[in-house]
A and B are shown apart, each in its own frame.
Chain A
Amino acid sequence: MKNRLKVLRAERDWSQADLAERLDVSRQSVNAIETGKYDPSLPLAFRIARLFAQPIESIFLDGDGGAP
């Protein structure tokens, strides 16, 4: 599943380690989510959405990356 995590993180000038610290996950997990290789659980997806103050569907894009 594609997502806008990297863009949102870059907008705030956060490193992967910064984001990992805020989400209480490892940097490797953030990297895996950003590259679309690992889909987070719903609780983690909600934590990400809360952190960026955006709805989940605007961060995680369904299917091949088209509009939600």
Chain B
Amino acid sequence: MATRRELTIAGYYAVATIGSLVIWLALALSILGREPLHGATTAWMLTGAYVAAMAWAVWFVLRLWRRLDEAAREAQKFAWFWGSIAALLLTAPVMLFFRLDALQLPHAQSPGLYFGLGWALLALAQCLCFLVAWAGWWQAKR
């Protein structure tokens, strides 16, 4: 059975994730209801909406951090440190491979899309490596 501490922490995760998603969707739909999808004004407004959604998440992550006990904080520090380093090292050769256009992929999209994909790959790699390191830390402490 989950303890009160675990429920509180899960609650912070849920409020941070769902809240930021709701803020982002509500603002984005509101903006796109009035502005065309493509255009500098829309881009600025959508970026601002995204910042607002992330600010909500950051507020709850700060509160969540205060609720974590010291072992959980150590696990987070370890996992972000080694997870981030591993992700950077693992994705660097991928970046070089694609930079040299080894696959000769067709490229008919805007540079912005490729920039976004590059960021998403790094973020995904960081999250995956974080999870492995975090699980490994707790496994070693069992």
Binding between chains A and B: yes
B-binding residues in A (CB < 8 A): 17, 20-21, 24-29, 31-33, 35, 37-38, 40-41, 44
Q: How far is the CB of B85 from the nearest CB of chain A, in Å?
A: 22
Least CB separation from A25: chain B residue: B69
Q: Are B3 and A21 in contact (CB under 8 A)?
A: yes
Q: Which of the listed residues B71, B72, B140, B141 has the most CB atoms from chain A within 10 Å of its own CB?
A: B71
Contacts A24-B5, A26-B5, A28-B71 given; 16 further ones with Cβ under 8 A? A20-B3, A21-B5, A24-B69, A25-B5, A25-B71, A26-B3, A26-B71, A26-B72, A31-B141, A31-B142, A37-B140, A37-B141, A37-B142, A38-B71, A38-B74, A40-B70
- Distance to closest chain B CB from A48 (angstroms): 12
A contact residues around B141 at 8 Å (CB)? 28, 31-32, 35, 37-38
Q: Nearest Cβ in chain B — how far from A34, in angstroms?
A: 11
Q: What is the number of residues of chain B that contact chain A, defined by CB distance less than 8 Å?
A: 13
A36 and chain B: residue at smallest CB distance: B141
Q: Which residues of A contact B35 (CB under 8 A)?
A: none
Least CB distance from B129 to A in Å reads 21
Closest Cβ neighbor of A31 among chain B residues: B142
Q: How would you classify the secondary structure of chain A's contact residues: helix, strand, loop or mixed?
A: helix
Q: Are B71 and A32 in contact (CB under 8 A)?
A: yes
Which residues does chain B contribute within 8 Å of A24, judged by CB atoms?
5, 69
- Chain A residues within an 8 Å CB radius of B74: 38
Provide a sorted-by-A list of 17 A–B residue pairs whose CB atoms are within 8 angstroms.
A21-B4, A21-B5, A24-B5, A24-B69, A25-B69, A25-B70, A25-B71, A26-B5, A27-B3, A29-B69, A29-B70, A29-B71, A29-B72, A32-B71, A35-B141, A35-B142, A40-B70
